[in-house]
Structure 1
Amino acid sequence: MACHIFLLVTLTLLCTIEADNSSIGCGQIRLACGASTPTDGDSDDRTWHSDIDSEFAPSLEGSAIALDPFLTTVPYKTARIFTSSYTYSFPVRPGRMFLRLYFYPTTYGNYAPSNACFRVTASNLVIFENLCASQTSLTVVSSLFREYSLNVTSGNLHLSFSPSTHHKGSYAFVNGIEIIVPTPDLFTTTIPTLANGGNPDPFPIDPATGFQTMYRLNVGGPDISPHDDIDFYRTWYEDSPYLYNGALSVCPLINDNITVTYTPSVPNYTAPVDVYLTARSMGQDAQVNLKYNLTWILPIDAGFFYLLRFHFCENQYPITKVNQRSFFIYINNQTAQTEMDVIAWSGGIGRTAYTDYAIITSGTGQTDLWVALHPDLTTRPEYYDAILNGLEVFKLQNYQDNSLAALQPPLPPPPSPPDHVEPNNDKPAGARKRNSKGAVPAAIAGTVGAFALLLLTCFGKYIISRWKEIARNYRTRTGNKHLMTPQVEGNNLPSVMCHHFTFKQIQAATNNFDETFLLGKGGFGNVYRGKIDGGVQVAIKRGNPLSQQGLREFRNEIGTLSMLRHRHLVSLIGYCEQNNEMILVYDYMAHGTLQEQLYSIKRRSPLPWKQRLEICIGAARGLQYLHTGAKQTIIHRDVKTANILLDDKFVAKVADFGLSKANLDVDDTHVSTAVKGTFGYLDPEYFRRKQLTRKSDVYAFGVVLFEVLCARPVINIQLPEEQVSLREWALSCQKNGVLSEIIDPHLQGEITPECFRKFTETAEQCVADRSIDRPSMGDVLSNLQVALQLQERTGVNNSNGEAPLSIAKTKVDSAAGPSTNSTMSITGQGVVFSDMTHTEGR
């Protein structure tokens, strides 16, 4: 202990020695960018140095601009403006460190805040992408502050600012740069638990991962300003702005008789004493507590993994013994922890503890993170209550694009700030005020609206620009402005525009249906490859007059696809209804159907496991959009591998909407209708009750997951009776613990055990007999994303030392090709409708 005290005193003395005019000893670097001389200490007694003539800013470029002299808050008094890319270089010791960036969006001379759009990278990690600082901070928070924890492996941290290439006249700027190095690894020393609804999985985090601080809350207490090196100058904010129905909760009084005791697993730099001395609980009325959740709502960026750290310390008498207070922890309506007993967890009153959880979010833009506590009566505790002392939320680096950056909204510039306005207290990303009812203020509502507008603008262009261009070209050439009002299973839909091709145009595109252009045959008819619009490849499906599928399915397909545009839904370009022909024109899918890729003898090489996972995730996204993202809930009704198409980059597209059914309202639970679909994928509950639900699609998709894993037809009558149905055979093997013995032999050594367990559990849940026991499509998507992450994170050297799944010699010919039964015939590339042996099912 004496040695540790001596070392701490020595380091403190060293920290008071200035290394040069731009750095502070002990690795603490603070640059007031644009300042001509060192600045006076800020409100926390930290000294900021100029970046002029700094060793960290060689050949410094850009303009140094000072703001109104009445503006006294450091480091916002000056700014450095960049009209071209520039990089600061900080020599640091390898290890983990805090990086903090400070911005004050305002008019800098001739530089308007609306043009401050730029990108920031820290070495090879993107932390801002086309950031428009004035739009992000809006008018409520006049300053913008971001904090990151980075693991730098080399001897230098390179911080680059680059004006946006997509915004004319853009520039980059920064007011302050702060680096605290080295810092201990606060994030990856423990393994968090993945909050996935009562079946928690360990979620090891790569030590190289970058983090962004989204929230650091002193629950039940006031703001805690940065004050010393031990806490690395972190700020903790009060939690009340984020409480939902916060009036029901109480903040226990600080007990002067309580001494906070840090434990070996929770050192004193984990959080300040004041965090553990304050807390928020539900109150003393047990009956009231059983009727509500103690809830916080925190806006975050969608599409990332997050680490949540809950800080606990029992500081309130009479809670001194185990099983006096036990509670649930819920994250985004998923059970993260049962029987949370702080005394049992920490070892006694006044002792510190924390627990970590990881979650995954999907989509883009901004979403809400819900954190809730509720009494757990399982162990019959003495008090029906819950408690929380502190909460931290960190965004994890996305390894796919090596980024922490979220999409920023293209808002109009905010009003100019009034004269001599001081910046508000700096808050991490996401720290926006919320009232006790959980309502987001107008500034955040504007941000969310702007995100939606940006997504509609950018994503819409990405998806439909090609379709619009083709349609526009043909309308221009032919003068055809045909509008069609389709019918979907008897429900009237709004008029939609869908290009109407003439039969001559279709003949020209296919060289009069030349057999060399034939891609495949399906239940609706033949599918041909064609070229339109001067060479654009398309798939042209020509209806067979003898087909069991006729005008109803034809119009249903047009009606459904004309009103839908999504990256993971097949795009309908147009149709032809001339000369008694029924012809549909789609985007060309270069790699055909998933079914063909899985077990066609024509495939060149088997799909690797990770690619199969990504295809399943893409198809799940398309189905989730049908269920929840469209104006009407759309049930596909014929989900199968033959109806999942793959483009030139193997992006999955859900196809075949001839049997789809649209609910009148997203809240409708089912549609009573005749049974249609494909045997092997058909929901048994739907078959019995003739009530179609979204869970019918989930069931069929579960069969698809088993098919992707095993690469064999879902019905194969050539196999022994117990193996004819893939679903029944897979569930039997799963129950007996031998499912790994029937998977595709080509996956030998590719699947990690963690990923295998998550994937097969998801498939098993999807094909439950009762629809009520099946997950929603959104939950399926989340589980598959987790499976992919587990595959990527564990790889060959997974955390528990297990090798990737080895496949024993299969008991059956699991890769057996399709049977000669017409039900399972391989459909051709681009096929959207398919055959069924039993006509009453279609």
Structure 2
Amino acid sequence: MDTQNLVFLNLILLLFIPCNCSVSFIPPDNYLLSCGSHSNASLFNRVFMSDSTFLSSDDSTSLTIQKPPQNLPALYHTARVFSGTGRYRFNMKKNGTHLVRFHFSPFKVQSFDLKSAKFSVFVNGILILSNFQPPNDVTLKEFILKVESNFLEILFRPVGNSGFAFVNAVEVFTAPEDFVVDYGARLVGPFGLVEYRNLSTKVLETVHRINVGGLKITPFNDTLWRTWIPDKDYLVFKGAAKPAVSTHTPNYQKGGATPEIAPDSVYMTAQQMNRENTSLASRFNITWNFPVASSSVGVPHLVRLHFCDIVSPALNLLYFDVYINGYIAYKDLDLSMLTIHTLASPVYVDFVTNSDDSGVIQISVGPSDLTSSIRMNAILNGAEIMKMVNDVNANVVHRRNKLWALVGPIVGGIVTLCLVATVFLFATKCRKKKPKQRTVDSVGWTPLRMFGGSSLSRTSEHGSHGYLGLKIPFADIQSATNNFDKSLIIGSGGFGMVYKGVLRDNVKVAVKRGMPGSRQGLPEFQTEITVLSKIRHRHLVSLVGFCEENSEMILVYEYVEKGPLKRHLYGSSQLPPLSWKQRLEICIGAARGLHYLHTGFAQGIIHRDIKSTNILLDENYVAKVADFGLSRSGPCINETHVSTGVKGSFGYLDPEYYRRQQLTDKSDVYSFGVVLFEVLCGRPAVDPQLTREQVNLAEWALEWLNKGMMEHIVDPHLVGQIKQSSLKKFCDTAEKCLAEYSVDRPTMGDVLWNLEYALQLQESGQQRELHAIRSASEDVSVTTTTVITGNPSTNRRTERDYDTGSSDVSTSQVFSQLINNEGR
């Protein structure tokens, strides 16, 4: 779309979108003051009254400009000047978040040249403007803060004995409900992603408010009377972006954004990837640089990003990544998952990040690895950046850290010399005494935090099975991988590259190397070591060792010959297809590994990232669960869940965990249910290239299962192999794993027993099946041993149920089913 068409469409939007600021939102507290004026003044159809009623200061003067410029609004023709401390006091009708705005437009009258004013401003005792000197033009300073008393007091304090303060207008009004919420914001930085809490307690100063892809929005078209400016001046490379415009009003949904969060016009325009620019690589990011004041270095900022999918023809087609200051802020963002499955539904996501010495906050969006090259895209509709004013110590700490970096080595040297002298004198005095045997703590690596909060040092009770016995020199890893030869790369992931290697004792290993010099993966690195150093199980990948020399983060695992399960299902046409029996045995092995994780410890361990790429197969096709970087300890005995930020992979994520951020071992059960359907259908958990109904494997498979026509979506390689009874038991198990609520899902122990029984049904004859069922304590749905034949697209259900009882089998019932030795 060319620039002329874009401007034309934007003008249409501005003409036909009504100004509903007085209809949509009426704030309980709404004070608009025209300072220094004895009459009312209007601005953007809002009436500002005289400030005299709210003023509680004797040292003030009212000034009026004699010959105002023709285009200067009447609100800026007057000003209130304070030669001493000046105060405004407002009675509050409702506690909660409020917006406070100050208008400054300096002019010269008599002995006052407002351009020379210098002052500080406080709101309810909080310093929000320090040594402020307003620029020559009209300036608006906006703050968002929480009021928890029945009044609000604004104080102006001149700097210096001969100084003065002034203001042209003041706004104080209530913000909409949930305008700033305490939960859900993501803290972005070198330490990884964590949740930022108590956001509403911060005083926020608006730095930038951007309408991405659109024109300027004035207060006439904003329900909170805000101004949004275009993004073109902030784009790093304009050729990477292409404007998108919708003429349809956004589909606002409960739980998403509202017109008060951002006006319609923001969500009806966007920037998307300009894939028509042939000078760009196939995958690239759109990047914006937003300048921040040098005084803000090291100070936290709230970054609020607005999204509305106006570029996709259907749901679940747009996946992209979001970066802030070069750090990943949101991986594989799917706007369909943040809304109630409605296209073009506005949402916003809050992030908190510290500004650095670069003087800018950088925002980027780019394509996700989940998206094919044909459909890759990324969008952004709006952006707001706000400085956290009342983090008063942030900047001081930042500067002190710099000072300590210079002074620290000097002080450290002096202290070291003193210690050496003391030790020498003490040793000389006690030379004749027989020294006692001591255990020397090893140094260099900070002990990791164990599950449950206790720390574990290398000299702990684990002995050779603890961290000390796991450390591998970097030189040995270099030798094992031929100095990280690219030809030895066998995989890659969010942590880094994985290399095949051979240690000096001829042990084959898989070496996972974090990005050199980066500490972004440190939490996952520590978690892997912590978890794997204390578990050993045939169906869990073993940790051989680790290395963290030279700022490296390297994990060394046992080499699992045949690689990820995914490659054997649909990842490679060169590998022989797995038989149904092999697939059942692989699922059983993985279930055993997970069951051990969940029950082998006092609290248990929740994996959090179960998927077909994290189930590896050895040379005998024995399954081993891998990648414990996201693992967490389970809830304590008196708890039902662990409250934590959402982690996992799209397509496998437990919807209840996603909604409530409450993690249980049943979250792993849900993910495993998706894997079961992957195994049966031979297709990915998410395939954006398919039709809308088929994109999500779990939803698609359950739909066919409910129709009683599961044979239609079975992997074609399995045609003629599966007995109906085994298929039914397998599908029933997968279905229960995918129950919407965790309380309705089986435990991994139940899943394991049911899969064992599905294998028994596949291998046993019809009479042995019937004998096993009759020995159960409760009727179980059983079918004949009819084998599925023909093409899946033409198959129809042919089994005949001997019994229509429930297939929901408890562990004890399944155990009685397995009691027949011939069936094992």
Using the size of structure 2 for normalisation, the TM-score is 0.47
The structure with higher relative contact order (CA 8 Å, sep 6+) is 1
